[in-house]
Amino acid sequence: MKVAVVGVGVTKFGKLENKTSRELFAEAVDYALKDADMAPKDIESVYVGNFTADLFEHQGHLAPLMADYAGLRGLPSTRFESACASGAAALRHGILAILSGLYDIVLVGGVEKMTDLPTTEVTDALSIAADNLFEASVGATFPGEYAMIAKAHMDTYGTTREQLASVAVKNHHNGFLNPKAHFQKEIDVEKVLNAPLIAWPLGLYDCSPISDGAAALILAREDVARKYTDTPIHIVASSQASDTVSLFERDSLTSLKAAKIAAKTAYEMAGVSSKQINLAEVHDCFTIAEIIATEDLGFFQPGEGGPAAEQGLTQIDGDIAINPSGGLKAKGHPVGCTGVAQAVEVSIQLRGEAGKRQVSGAEIGLTHNIGGSGATAIIHIFRR
Amino acid sequence: MKVAVVGVGVTKFGKLENKTSRELFAEAVDYALKDADMAPKDIESVYVGNFTADLFEHQGHLAPLMADYAGLRGLPSTRFESACASGAAALRHGILAILSGLYDIVLVGGVEKMTDLPTTEVTDALSIAADNLFEASVGATFPGEYAMIAKAHMDTYGTTREQLASVAVKNHHNGFLNPKAHFQKEIDVEKVLNAPLIAWPLGLYDCSPISDGAAALILAREDVARKYTDTPIHIVASSQASDTVSLFERDSLTSLKAAKIAAKTAYEMAGVSSKQINLAEVHDCFTIAEIIATEDLGFFQPGEGGPAAEQGLTQIDGDIAINPSGGLKAKGHPVGCTGVAQAVEVSIQLRGEAGKRQVSGAEIGLTHNIGGSGATAIIHIFRR
């Protein structure tokens, strides 16, 4: 696609007290500018992913605000909201803006500051990614929605709670290796199974946490990228599809149609097959979501995602490394930041700079960012 | 820019009870598809401008939801939030998506459903377009901010309340000629001056109303546009700039720096001067905003916008027709819809289909969409 990642930055994820979204965003941008050895004046436009600072911070008009505090005052700055896929929506449109010929270099950032509200208010805020008329207003918030998806997957394929738990265990292990991750501790299957239930069959450790964080990417047109880095990471596919927001309107609950369509498009665009992907950062907002993601992306056949996770095939040294960063589950899930953070992780991995969590010999990586229960799916593929 | 408008649609603006945003959006899309003689299957991607359904309807993840209800389920669908310039942000990125080579035909829609909340809650919701830390939280909501801007303009240039009032009178006259406008009644200067004060020097009739509404545009690559229409409206410039969100950080309150920068870029891109513009839909959220817009866009020298309005130079048959639709003031201001509705009006005018409010011989039109008190400015120029 003639666009490359030339700089990346990500803040620590977690409950970051006394920091506002603008401070987190500026910190991530600062890291990315340093990484690319660039000055703010090199940036031509700013793309911001954020789900709902409207509800989390009573703040909208986010793009010029973030740009200003990051030292990028005055630049064309736009905010993207695609629920939990807001970060990838910003990334996708940063890429398209370069492809349009309008810009050579753009900054893409994602940010969410979630922990200032009590948990029940956060769940309520997140529920606006569901259909307020037919889902949220009658109590169907996301833990319940993904619980229904998990139950359907269990009924159809015999997926077990132990298989779900193995996703959480792996991602906590990977997060333990990632200094920026929200959680820095290992857990075992027993701990997951014995944790308080949130919405059966999902327990506390099947759910991603409420996190604060920001991430930034600097994108450049291929022909200028080498001015800034010896290791440009080439973006070879960007695809997006959507589906009904309401679960009840779907034909199936055991896969996400939008993700399957976006995956097919992305593989065609990149000219690669699912077998060629070395690592993927996928949208594991709940453990079941990672299992379904690995099926929707063609890494495993439908119903084989659970056994594959349990057998360790998705570990960093497995057949395909899934969420080496720790994923949403352990790295954390500052919602509108996640899609950008996924791309940061894949870029770091493809550069070979991921330290203890490095996927050996990684050449091709993929990001899979989902909004809500699958009404938005955005996929990017990157090559070293 | 090799992109043309081939279909337009707009709902009636006003207090539209018993209609949700999805119904309004679908209605506007339906009009646009009929106008372009297209089927939903002809559309490849959906761009949605919306400010904060998050607060107005407790609904996010708006793009796939709107697409679904408009018969466009499954398409890549993205929502843009740039406060009151959200509609133009969606338009701009629809244009860039076509220029990127990814799509031939996209739908751009804008929608806001505002009247379900009490007025005080609407003002509070709108205040998230200001800086919550330094403005809204200490009481600086938009009527107050624009009142400060008006006072500064009066002090610097001698602008009068009568001049402000003449903007309201003109826009109510134009709205009276526009069957889709929120207000359908003429007013006079006396009525404006004697209305209840909102924030001195701005009275009730100096403020745009709280409106519901939706608008849609179908954009096509130039080389396919003629398949759908004999009167494609060519988009010849799209520009965007930003500024500080907080007023207190600005060097001047008597003009909007972002708008001046965006105007300069737009004229260069289009290869036209301000003198060649026949009509402009500008962001008159308050009467003072229209006066400043006409100065920032180069139609009048700084300080001459007030006298020009009072002398009738901005009427439909004046030197330059400003807001022939009735503008935000009388057509209404469903916030995230406004930027799209402005482009709909300019397209209708350039086609010569504006009926009683037609600007005679209009060849070139401009839209000027502002977010907040000027932290975002997005300008588009269109040619017959």
Q: What is the mean pLDDT of residues A109-131?
A: 95
- pLDDT > 90 fraction of chain B, expressed in percent and rounded: 98
So what's the pLDDT on residue B85? 98
Residue burial B79-99, b: 16+ Cβ < 10 Å; e: rest: bbbbbbbbbbbbbbbbbbbbb
Q: Are residues B225 and B244 in the same domain?
A: no
Cα distances from B50 to residues A18, A242, B17, B85, B181, in angstroms, run: 30, 18, 19, 9, 19
A50: DSSP letter: -
Q: Which of B230, B267, B216, B12 is nearest to B94 (CA)?
A: B216
| Half-sphere exposure (Cβ direction) of B297: Cα atoms closer than 13 Å | 33
Write the CB contacts of B65 (distance below 8 Å, at least 6 apart in sequence).
A131, A245, A375, B22, B59
Domain range for B283: 141-206+235-383
B65 contact residues in A (CB cutoff 8 A): 131, 245, 375
Write out pLDDT tens, residues B18-28: 899 999 999 99
Q: What are phi and psi of A314, to 5 degrees?
A: -105, 10
So what's the pLDDT on residue B1? 75
Write the CB contacts of A28 (distance below 8 Å, at least 6 apart in sequence).
A9, A10, A11, A109, A111, A214, A215, A216
Reading phi first (left if > 0) and then psi (alpha if -120 to 50, else beta), residue B271 is in left
> Tokens for B330?
């009388």
Q: Are residues B260 and B338 in the same domain?
A: yes
Cα distances from A62 to residues A50, A66, B278, in angstroms, run: 8, 6, 34
So what's the pLDDT on residue B32? 98
Give dist(CA A18, CA B370) in Å, integer.
32
Paired sense of beta strands A364-371 and A279-281, if any: parallel
Residues in chain A: 384
A94 contact residues in B (CB cutoff 8 A): none
Write out pLDDT tens, residues B246-279: 999 999 999 999 999 999 999 999 999 999 999 9
Q: Are residues B164 and B109 in the same domain?
A: no
Question: Residue B114 maps to which CATH number?
Answer: 3.40.47.10
Q: Are residues B291 and B260 in the same domain?
A: yes
Write out pLDDT tens, residues A277-286: 999 999 999 9
pTM (whole model) above 0.95: yes
B329: DSSP letter: H
Residue A266 binned pLDDT confidence (cut-offs 50, 70, 90): very high
Q: What is the mean pLDDT of residues A65-86?
A: 98
Give yes or no for residue B40 having a pLDDT over 80: yes
Handedness of CA B166, B168, B172, B175 (dihedral sign): positive
Paired sense of beta strands A233-242 and A376-383, if any: antiparallel
Q: Is B272 helix (H, G, I), strand (E, B) or coil?
A: coil
A314 to chain B, closest Cα gap in Å? 29
Residue B98 binned pLDDT confidence (cut-offs 50, 70, 90): very high
Give yes or no for residue B6 having a pLDDT over 90: yes
Q: What is the mean pLDDT of residues A298-308?
A: 98
Write out pLDDT tens, residues A360-371: 999 999 999 999
Give dist(CA B172, CA B185) in Å, integer.
6
Q: Are residues A77 and A198 in the same domain?
A: no
Residue A16 binned pLDDT confidence (cut-offs 50, 70, 90): very high
> How many CB contacts within 8 angstroms connect chain A with chain B?
183
| Interface contact flag, A101 B99, Cβ < 8 Å | yes
So what's the pLDDT on residue A231? 95
Q: Are residues A195 and A219 in the same domain?
A: no
Instruction: Identify whether the C-beta of residue A56 lies closer than 8 Å to the C-beta of residue A117.
Output: yes
> Which residue in chain B has the smallest CA separation from A257?
B74
Domain assignment of residue B129, yes or no: no
Domain assignment of residue A133, yes or no: no
> Which residue in chain B has the smallest CA separation from A71?
B244
Write the CB contacts of B109 (distance below 8 Å, at least 6 apart in sequence).
B25, B28, B29, B46, B47, B48, B49, B66, B70, B90, B214, B215, B216, B217, B340
Write the CB contacts of A150 (distance below 8 Å, at least 6 apart in sequence).
A159, A164, A201, A202, A206, A286, A287, A288
Query: A112: exposed, middle or buried (C-beta count within 10 Å: 0-12, 13-18, 19+)?
Result: buried
The helix or strand, by DSSP H or E, that contains position B9, with its residue range, turns out to be strand B3-10
Give yes or no for residue B214 having a pLDDT over 90: yes
B99 contact residues in A (CB cutoff 8 A): 99-102
| Interface contact flag, A372 B61, Cβ < 8 Å | yes
Q: Are residues A107 and A153 in the same domain?
A: no
So what's the pLDDT on residue B126? 96
The CA angle A278-A279-A282, to the nearest 5 degrees, is 145
Write out pLDDT tens, residues B163-192: 999 999 999 999 999 999 999 999 999 999
Domain assignment of residue A378, yes or no: yes
Cα distances from A319 to residues A275, A328, A354, B186, B274, in angstroms, run: 9, 21, 18, 72, 62
Q: Where are the beta strands (DSSP E) in B54-103?
A: 77-81
Q: Are residues B242 and B356 in the same domain?
A: yes
Write out pLDDT tens, residues A193-232: 999 999 999 999 999 999 999 999 999 999 999 999 999 9
Q: Are residues A144 and A200 in the same domain?
A: yes
Domain assignment of residue A103, yes or no: yes
Write out pLDDT tens, residues B104-144: 999 999 999 999 999 999 999 999 999 999 998 898 989 99
- Among residues B93, B153, B283, B333, the one annotated as catalytic is B333
Write the CB contacts of A218 (distance below 8 Å, at least 6 apart in sequence).
A5, A6, A7, A8, A32, A33, A35, A36, A38, A43, A105, A106, A107, A108, A228
**Range with the poorest average pLDDT among A130-139, A170-179, B292-301, B314-323:** A130-139
Residue A377, amino acid: A
Domain assignment of residue B246, yes or no: yes
Q: Are residues B93 and B104 in the same domain?
A: yes
DSSP characters over A246-308: SGGG-S-SSS-HHHHHHHHHHHHHHT--GGG--EEE---SBHHHHHHHHHHTTSS-TT-HHHH
Domain assignment of residue B127, yes or no: no
B45 to chain A, closest Cα gap in Å? 9
Domain assignment of residue B133, yes or no: no
**Range with the poorest average pLDDT among A62-66, A106-110, A138-142, B165-169:** A138-142
3-state DSSP percent of chain A in helix, strand and coil, to 5: 45, 20, 35
Domain assignment of residue A125, yes or no: no
A122 contact residues in B (CB cutoff 8 A): none
Write out pLDDT tens, residues B347-383: 999 999 999 999 999 999 999 999 999 999 999 999 9
So what's the pLDDT on residue B213? 98
So what's the pLDDT on residue A89? 98
The helix or strand, by DSSP H or E, that contains position A341, with its residue range, turns out to be helix A338-351
Write out pLDDT tens, residues A25-49: 999 999 999 999 999 999 999 999 9
DSSP characters over B184-213: -----HHHHHHSPEEETTEEGGGBPPP-BE
B104 to chain A, closest Cα gap in Å? 13
Q: Rounded mean pLDDT of chain A?
A: 97
Give yes or no for residue A171 having a pLDDT over 90: yes
Write the CB contacts of B42 (distance below 8 Å, at least 6 apart in sequence).
B105
Residues of A with a known catalytic role: 84, 333
The CA angle B162-B167-B169, to the nearest 5 degrees, is 85
Give yes or no for residue A1 having a pLDDT over 80: no
Residue B295, amino acid: E
Centroid of chain to Cα A374: 13
Q: Are residues B223 and B201 in the same domain?
A: no
Residue A275, amino acid: K
The helix or strand, by DSSP H or E, that contains position B338, with its residue range, turns out to be helix B338-351
Q: Where are the beta strands (DSSP E) in chain A?
A: 3-10, 45-49, 77-81, 105-112, 197-199, 202-203, 213-221, 233-242, 279-281, 321-322, 364-371, 376-383
B100 contact residues in A (CB cutoff 8 A): 95-97, 99-100
Q: Are residues B216 and B246 in the same domain?
A: no
Instruction: Identify whether the C-beta of residue A110 lies closer than 8 Å to the C-beta of residue A340.
Output: yes
The CA angle A305-A311-A315, to the nearest 5 degrees, is 85
Of B100, B102, B243, the CB nearest to A64: B243
Identify whether B333 is a catalytic site residue.
yes
Give dist(CA A291, CA A278) in Å, integer.
17
Single out the residue in A233, A267, A298 at which a domain terminates: A233
Domain tally for chain A?
2
Write the CB contacts of A268 (distance below 8 Å, at least 6 apart in sequence).
none
